Structure 1
Amino acid sequence: MAADPLTRAVLEIDEYAAGLGWDQPARLFALVDTARLREQEPGLAAQLGLDRPAGPTAASYTPIEQDELPAGGALDEFLGTIAWPEAVAGCALTVERLMLPPSAEASVPRDLDDKRLAEWVAEHPDRQEVRMTVAVLRDGSRESALRLREKDSPTEVLTGPDLVPGLAEALLATFAD
């Protein structure tokens, strides 16, 4: 298991999403400091099975899934409506998308609107289905996990802080004052 608490949280969310299968809607999570949750909300901590510390200095974040995201709306517009209470240390989002390899960039038609571009990508023979899980903390820390549908295995999950920078920035903006 990853040593960094944020990486552990991202991998926990990725594992949860993997258990639900593919073709799922985007899911939003609040990340709360597990020790703080135990202290301030002991009943909820017990309900989540977090009432006993994992170790004397084991820092961790507990992902708490939020209500379902509204269907049909633009994700960036929805994220622009979110404000988190002070008790939330960070947030995470898991979303499925189609991606093309860099080699396909030169063949992308430039005159398509968003809908037609999405259709073009969906029909491209080199498209890849990917699940992205991106998490950020109030202090600007970030982590991501990418899982390709064709390599759907916990050992094939790629992690790193800068894998999905645009989504990380959008999530960080939900903490702006």
Structure 2
Amino acid sequence: MSTPPTPPQPTDTSAEARARRALADAVREIEHHVAAAGWDAPVRVFALVRTQSALDAEPGLADQLTPDVLAAARADDQHLTSIEQEGLPAAEDLEQLLGGLTWPPTVDGAAVTVERVVLPPGVEEDLPADPDQALAALLAHPQRQDVRLAVGVLRNGPAWCAVRTRAHDSDDAVGQGPDLVPGLVEAVRATLA
């Protein structure tokens, strides 16, 4: 999967600014792609590669990309293509999965999508200590919010996050920013070390 061309952006054309915009575009596109499959989905992991570098290494890739993506890659060497990883290793939880991932140098970044249940501040303190009872209380709580997190990080530093709630499940209601989920950003960043 690859990001469509980006509309005109502010005048900062430095490689760093273009990389941040390319990452934001890729994370938005990943989140939109995953959202199309609906809720209650498993964790999904994506490698991020600079499209033009991938085309230089594998010219046949051009046959799999749309003309607008090819034009965007020619126009901006920071343009990213996301490649969903299949056959992920078995893991008990997200932390264990990410802790077992490493990427070759040809991968410029990584992204992950995961669904979580969140509660308002302070509510978690009242949950039972027993994990099974706590999970049951969490799932039954009237103020719970189901969220989908999409987090991407580039090897050279920039990060971008997108957050969608089930209660406001529309493309125009997705929250975005570089540090919305700092713990997950750092966990994804660690896979690139």
Q: Same fold (TM over 0.5)?
A: yes
Q: Which moved more, 1:117-126 or 1:137-146?
A: 117-126
Distance 1:129 1:135 in 2: 20
Deviations along 1:29-71, one digit per CA (max 9) or x if unpaired, are 0000011112111212321336732262363111100014456
Deviation of the 1:117 alpha carbon: 2.7
Structure 1 match to 2:118: 99
Structure 2 match to 1:19: 36
One-letter amino acid of the structure 2 residue matched with residue 79 of structure 1: L
Tell me, yes or no, if structure 1 residue 64 matches structure 2 residue 83.
yes
Distance 1:68 1:117 in 2: 31
Q: How does 1:11-160 map to 2 (within 5 A)?
A: 11-49=28-66, 52-54=70-72, 56-57=75-76, 59-70=78-89, 73-109=92-128, 111-113=129-131, 115-160=132-177
Structure 2 match to 1:175: 192
Q: Which moved more, 1:95-104 or 1:157-166?
A: 95-104
Structure 2 match to 1:163: 180
Deviations along 1:97-122, one digit per CA (max 9) or x if unpaired, are 1111225245344x333x44332211
8 Å contact from structure 1 (residues 27, 68) kept in 2: no
Distance 1:66 1:15 in 2: 17
One-letter amino acid of the structure 2 residue matched with residue 86 of structure 1: P
Distance 2:125 2:100 in 1: 35
Q: Which moved more, 1:72-81 or 1:123-132?
A: 72-81
8 Å contact from structure 1 (residues 26, 69) kept in 2: no
Q: How much is the aligned-residue C-alpha RMSD, in angstroms?
A: 2.1
Q: Give percent identity, aligned residues only.
A: 45
Q: How many residues align?
A: 174
Deviation of the 1:19 alpha carbon: 0.8
Distance 1:145 1:118 in 2: 25
Distance 1:83 1:70 in 2: 12
Query: Per the alignment, do residues 45 and 116 of structure 1 end up closer, same or farther by CA in structure 2, a change over 3 Å counting?
Result: farther
